[in-house]
Amino acid sequence: MLNNLKFYFLIKLFIVYLRLTMNKTLQHIDYTQETEVLARFSKALGHPTRLIILKYLSNQSCCYTGDLVDVLPLAQSTISQHLKELKEAGLIDGEVSPPKVKYCINQENWEKAKTLFATLFKEDFKKFSCC
């Protein structure tokens, strides 16, 4: 009987623990719009191929997917996926002129990205000691 009570008590304690930890996990965090935009830009810039695409576009007024296929040793479908990610983040624009899509850097969002990253990198993280 005593073992059953111990087991019951442990189960109840575990349920309380789960409720406390799950409740914390399910809390909503309100991010600023700037933080969300910066995260979106960061995700899009998080792949080396996308950086190469942006560098290529910065030296052109525009380009087509086929131009990038000639420059990068990747399949057209892979390049298209990277272009899609950059476009969804707002870093590039795509203008459809069938059967091609013409891409260029979205200058307004590029300036916004530069400002947001500059603000982040101005933070003095040295003031916090760690490890």
Find out whether 58 and 105 touch, Cβ atoms under 8 Å: yes
Residue 127 belongs to some domain of the structure? no
Tell me the C-alpha distance between 20 and 18, whole Å.
Answer: 5
Residue 87 belongs to some domain of the structure? yes
Measured on CA atoms in the order 52, 65, 103, 79, is the torsion positive or negative? Answer: negative
CATH number at residue 109: 1.10.10.10
Residue 26 belongs to some domain of the structure? no
pLDDT of res. 53:
95
Residue 128 belongs to some domain of the structure? no
Residue 22 belongs to some domain of the structure? no
Residue 5 belongs to some domain of the structure? no
In tens, the pLDDT along 3-56 reads 666 666 677 777 777 666 665 555 677 889 999 999 999 999 999 999 999 999
Q: Which residue has the tokens 């002129």?
A: 97
Residue 18 belongs to some domain of the structure? no
Q: State how many domains the chain has.
A: 1
Q: Which domain holds residue 101?
A: 33-118
In tens, the pLDDT along 67-119 reads 898 989 999 999 999 999 999 999 999 988 888 888 999 999 999 999 999 99
Q: Which residue has the tokens 């933070």?
A: 123
Buried b (16+ CB within 10 A) or exposed e, 14-30: eeeeeeeeeeeeeeeee
Residue 57 belongs to some domain of the structure? yes
Pull the structure tokens for residue 26: 């399910």
